[in-house]
Chains A and B, each alone.
Chain A
């Protein structure tokens, strides 16, 4: 490929604090407009911000999880611009001195390699309100419930080289903030959203190309599509003799294209300066240590443990630890059915995942609990049922609920392991099919499968497959 793509992401994670970053108002989503806006959120004259310590704790937690430098002193700054949903006429953010400095996150590439993505910084800031343009007969409505909601803006280095890498990074970060319980990750509600800086350059070129920023990408799919479109647009532009203009673009998910929002010339001069209403944020080492003590096991560590303790392939461990909930589920299954962790992994990633996908459900919405699945796996391991029968039992568990053993008994699915009974069935089948028997014995090995099929049919699939094979071989060969 002639062109190299360069991408950096700015991700806004809404922090899961109960109250806002600078006021005591609640942050609950979906309340009636302007019912969660205090005089501080409304930007009343005379009001002053007071920093929410919980937001700081969450930012530090994130910083520690990406091995970042935690600034002992960081500064809140005002970003000045006029907009109706920005009540004070400025957003309180961090500019020159962010709370979280340089860190990194490792992502898995499709070719199986790992790649380290640099995190430039992460800073605390307040969200703006929302402008509502429908239902107001040519006017705009302003809902300030979201104004003052704490955000952590996580800025990556321009280390990403494709839309796929960008999505992998974003997914990894998404899992991480949920592991850390600092963000609910709900992308529909805007709790986790992304701006992408995209440029292209010819392979081997030293200088970065002119970049465009694509705003407000609120799903993994949109990120991938928007970046791919933007890359195509830029390449076409350059190849047809034009030049990329630095600008902010909006992705239109309906038309599946990006369009210009404002050029560099039209960009606001934000006139950042330190907010005189807030003292510098000083973080003592003891505070950092206390936060460190609350860190959960992080995705990469958990993945390594799944490999080491469960003997899972790295790929499986990666999939199963991709979200905290999925890893918790898997761990619960293995704890109750410890005989064969790989079997558990296969079921979670196979049958269960397929069902969840079908219903567009996540693991917390699974209709089969970890205990139910474990009960099923135990019966596979002890050869009460075969894997094939187990799928039948799983169907029942999924659609009707209940308990594996009860289902096995009710439907009479117990595997036939009685050698005498199986032998009688096999003898009968061989006696009923003399032609096939003779052909087999004359060297037509493929007919072995015919006998297995007949025996399974006769037992309703309940014959223990290994035992059946063994007996059949002896009877036919002997």
Chain B
């Protein structure tokens, strides 16, 4: 049952071939069996999941089921779940139980989706390898010695290992697309403002966007449709109708203009990854699309721009974790300053502290103009590059990550090397565009991801393309043999 696509699962539920309770039990068993090796989940409450499943079954008996009612899923542990621990991968929130659901959690629940558990992640979503989690690293199902990518590494690894058919993620600089690529699944970061951020613990508010993981584009389309849409609680969410993504997957691609930015194929790219991506692009040509070399001249600014702006916002966003109202509080504080210093010193890990310090520095008097303001100007240049290029092409394509999954510990001593893992994904967040990663081949039995980037609010176009590609290929159907 765990090998079914979401559409197939929904059909089986609708036909009465199985119940949500049975489906949920099956996945809970797989989690119990396999997650010890992966560490993809930080919280699993079987009874809570089964109760939701039984409710979904009851709803179906009342003929009140929607297309996803009864389908199990996983939420990244950055999304608040009322009454269920939400850690954000941090000791700071190690025992934090929120009193309300994130908007997307509530929307998934309203659609009848069942939450199996909460996915491991880099601490406060700061990382590209899932090694910064307070709850230990997540392992890549294709090779447990390697990372799954990050920060949504738990979500990606769980879906890749068939521990759940669907998962949510968040993407600030590539945190959905890069792990999707490294784990061989499909992941979509929507346009900034397409999905509510309310109840998603903030890392860098102007870049954070909630999105989806599935094994294929159709599964992603179904989940995105359930989650997306305006939320009056989020001033940056956009009041604009949500298209029927799953119903628009079969448009032919003939005449589609795909831009190939030369900058994605530069020096840091593993040639084998490059070849796999070129082969994937040829498939699109056979589907009638045309390829056009294009340039994003300011793309090289994106990593330094991002690592100025994201820490700046993070340094402020994480100030609320002060040991006063919730979260970790040090033992026996001597005074207020001691309370702050030790609570934060003990509660945050090294990468989070590094970014708080960078962010505090770039916002400080005397440095603000040189760093923060300059980075904002660079951000506008990058955004303008994309705007210009979308005047001549419909979509952009290239490798999601410059290389396949790397080994645990390989980059932990060199933050800059780690930050370069996101070189192809970061600019998309800076410009607020939708980006999708889909499986496009293997290099030495490790998955390669192809990234598609669209103009604002063209998630449907990306899903349509991915689906057409997946009708022609079977990369997305392959799964790691250890998790059969």
Contact = CB atoms under 8 A, between A and B. Distances in A.
A384 B481 CA distance: 111
B235 A51 contact: yes
Given A45-B88, A46-B198, A271-B316, A87 B325 contact: yes
Interface in B351-373: 360, 363-365, 368, 372
Nearest to B78: A46
A313 B98 CA distance: 65
Contact of A90 (B88, B200, B319, B324): B319
Given A48-B197, A82-B340, A271-B316, A89 B236 contact: no
Nearest to B339: A84
A140 to B, nearest CB: 8
A269 B316 CA distance: 13
Interface stretch (B10-18, B201-209, B458-466): B201-209
B122 interface: no
A46 B201 contact: yes
Interface stretch (A161-169, A274-282, A298-306, A352-360): A274-282
A12 interface: no
A80 B318 CA distance: 11
B196 to A, nearest CB: 9
Given A45-B93, A48-B235, A90 B316 contact: yes
A50 B363 contact: no
Binding site of B, secondary structure by majority: helix, strand, loop or mixed? loop
B234 interface: yes
Determine which residue in B88, B198, B324 has the highest number of CB atoms from chain A within 10 A of its CB, and name it: B324
A49 interface: yes
Contacts of A42: 325
A142 B323 CA distance: 13
Interface string B228-240: 0000111110000
B316 A277 contact: no
A278 B234 CA distance: 9
A43 interface: yes
A391 to B, nearest CB: 61
Interface in A81-106: 82, 84, 87-90
B235 A82 contact: no
Interface in A43-89: 43-51, 78, 80, 82, 84, 87-89
* Residue of A39, A46, A84 contacting most chain B CB atoms (<10 Å): A46
Contacts of B198: 46-48
Given A45-B202, A271-B363, A273-B363, A89 B316 contact: yes
A50 B232 contact: yes
A471 B220 CA distance: 107
Contacts of A276: 204-206, 236, 313
A277 B324 CA distance: 23
B25 interface: no
A50 to B, nearest CB: 5
B80 A82 contact: no
Nearest to A267: B365
Contact of A273 (B79, B98, B197, B368): B368
A449 B202 CA distance: 88
A269 B234 CA distance: 29
A84 B336 contact: yes
A457 B109 CA distance: 92
B310 to A, nearest CB: 11
Interface in B111-142: none
A44 B98 contact: yes
Contact of B98 (A45, A84, A142, A271): A45
Contact of A48 (B86, B93, B100, B233): B233
A272 B102 CA distance: 28
A355 B199 CA distance: 58
Nearest to A76: B235
Interface in B68-91: 79-80, 86, 88
B483 interface: no
Given A48-B234, A50-B233, A271-B315, 16 more contacts: A43-B320, A45-B86, A46-B80, A46-B98, A46-B199, A46-B200, A46-B201, A50-B234, A80-B315, A84-B324, A89-B316, A89-B320, A271-B368, A277-B202, A277-B236, A279-B236
Interface of A: 39, 42-51, 78, 80, 82, 84, 87-90, 142, 269, 271-273, 276-279
The 6 A-B pairs with the shortest beta carbon distances in the complex, nearest first, are A89-B319, A276-B206, A271-B363, A276-B205, A46-B199, A45-B201
29 contacts: A39-B99, A44-B99, A44-B326, A45-B86, A45-B98, A45-B201, A45-B202, A46-B98, A48-B198, A48-B233, A48-B234, A48-B235, A50-B234, A50-B235, A51-B235, A80-B319, A88-B319, A90-B316, A142-B324, A271-B360, A271-B364, A271-B365, A273-B312, A273-B316, A273-B368, A276-B204, A276-B206, A277-B205, A279-B236
